[in-house]
């Protein structure tokens, strides 16, 4: 716990660098090739430009939505929402309205409406939730996937949900007291995702047990999806300076969420099962079931060994 606190301690005192982004602006990261889906990145509150997704590798910036994802999902138009350096007020409903407006403008020249996948970090997940449950219908109806890094949905054994949200606010020096509206919005999204008729695919990710948003807090109530654990602190949960280990673990899920089905029958495809346990650089077990066909994952080691598959283990990356 002390190690994590020490790594987090400097965050509130640092200033992000702003790469060509005005206040709360949606920018184009990559146009995609013959793009048929929009992947929209929503950072933690206050992250300027693409800094919320930027890691360091030997002193160089690595921005995985641009440096990795654009090549791995070439048909995706990749967009990123970010905050101005002076942004100091958390008004997620206003931000969601502005985001929807900018998305409508960006998508107005498309030949047909495209599906949308939101990739959100921390309180950015609340922004995504507001778009889904209370945003412009022309945008919300197109949301087909959510990737959520460290967004809390419920209490954990040591803290109530309101206390977790307040801890995040303090971490980023957010002048905010009380999270009644945010908790209500998260609750509405939980109901939507747990509904038997829900068609929005989602994947939450959590920190380790002692982290700010652990597996318990990141679990969406009423659903059976267990958040995989990424062994990073809250701020670095979604920053990848190489494709292994963490990016390699999340890209399969992101590709699945970003699939664009071409006909009505495909849209009714059942997609059941789970990806097995990911431990550091290994993948343990799992089964993926599509329309009765199964793909069973064995233990897959990045160094080239494999062993017999196992099912039913809890996920941990």
d(CA 11, CA 81): 20
d(CA 304, CA 271): 28
Helix H segments across the chain? 2-8, 64, 70-72, 92-107, 124-134, 137-140, 161-171, 180-194, 215-218, 248-257, 264-267
pLDDT, residue 270, reads 38
pLDDT, residue 173, reads 86
pLDDT tens digit sequence for 72-104: 999 999 999 998 765 567 789 999 999 999 999
Average pLDDT over residues 107-116: 96
pLDDT-based confidence at 296, cuts 50/70/90? very low
pLDDT-based confidence at 175, cuts 50/70/90? confident
pLDDT tens digit sequence for 1-23: 444 444 444 444 333 443 444 45
pLDDT-based confidence at 275, cuts 50/70/90? very low
What the chain holds in terms of domains, given with CATH numbers, is 2-260 (3.40.50.1820), 270-317 (no CATH)
What percent of the chain clears pLDDT 70, i.e. is strictly above it? Answer: 74
pLDDT, residue 69, reads 98
What percent of the chain clears pLDDT 90, i.e. is strictly above it? Answer: 67
- Which of 115, 119, 106 has the alpha carbon at shortest distance from 143? 115
pLDDT, residue 190, reads 98
Average pLDDT, rounded, for the chain: 81
Average pLDDT over residues 200-205: 98
pLDDT tens digit sequence for 132-152: 999 999 999 999 999 999 999
Average pLDDT over residues 285-298: 42
Asked if pLDDT for residue 316 goes beyond 70, the answer is no
What does pTM read for this prediction?
0.77
pLDDT, residue 144, reads 98
- Give the torsion through C-alpha atoms of 88, 91, 94, 98, to 10 deg: 40
Among 25-39, 72-86, 283-297, the minimum mean pLDDT is found in: 283-297
pLDDT tens digit sequence for 223-268: 999 999 999 999 999 999 999 999 999 999 999 999 997 543 334 4
User: CA of 280: how far to CAs of 155, 201, 246, 311, in Å?
Assistant: 27, 25, 8, 18
């Amino acid at each position: 716990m002390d190690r994590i606190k020490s790594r987090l301690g400097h965050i509130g005192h640092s200033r992000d660098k702003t790469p060509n982004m005005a206040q709360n602006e949606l920018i184009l990261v990559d146009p995609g090739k013959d793009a048929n889906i929009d992947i929209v990145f929503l950072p933690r509150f206050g992250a300027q430009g693409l800094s919320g997704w930027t890691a360091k590798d030997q002193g160089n910036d690595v921005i995985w939505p641009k440096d990795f994802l654009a090549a791995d999902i070439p048909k995706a138009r990749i967009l990123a929402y970010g905050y101005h350096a002076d942004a100091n007020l958390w008004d997620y409903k206003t931000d969601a309205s502005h985001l929807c407006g900018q998305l409508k403008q960006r998508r107005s020249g498309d030949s047909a409406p495209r599906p949308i996948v939101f990739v959100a970090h921390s309180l950015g997940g609340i922004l995504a939730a507001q778009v889904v449950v209370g945003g412009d219908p022309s945008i919300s109806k197109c949301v087909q996937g959510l990737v959520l890094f460290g967004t809390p949905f419920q209490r954990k054994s040591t803290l109530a949900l309101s206390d977790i949200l307040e801890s995040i606010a303090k971490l980023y020096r957010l002048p905010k007291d009380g999270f009644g509206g945010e908790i209500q919005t998260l609750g509405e999204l939980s109901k939507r995702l747990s509904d038997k008729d829900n068609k929005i695919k989602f994947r939450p990710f959590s920190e380790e047990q002692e982290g700010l948003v652990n597996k318990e807090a990141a679990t969406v109530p009423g659903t059976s999806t267990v958040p995989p654990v990424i062994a990073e602190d809250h701020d670095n949960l979604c920053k990848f300076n190489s494709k292994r280990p963490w990016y390699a673990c999340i890209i399969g899920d992101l590709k699945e969420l970003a699939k664009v089905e071409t006909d009505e029958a495909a849209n009714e495809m059942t997609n059941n099962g789970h990806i097995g346990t990911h431990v550091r650089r290994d993948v343990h077990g799992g089964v993926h079931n599509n329309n009765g066909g199964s793909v069973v994952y064995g233990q897959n080691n990045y160094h080239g060994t494999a062993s017999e598959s196992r099912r039913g283990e809890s996920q941990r990356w």
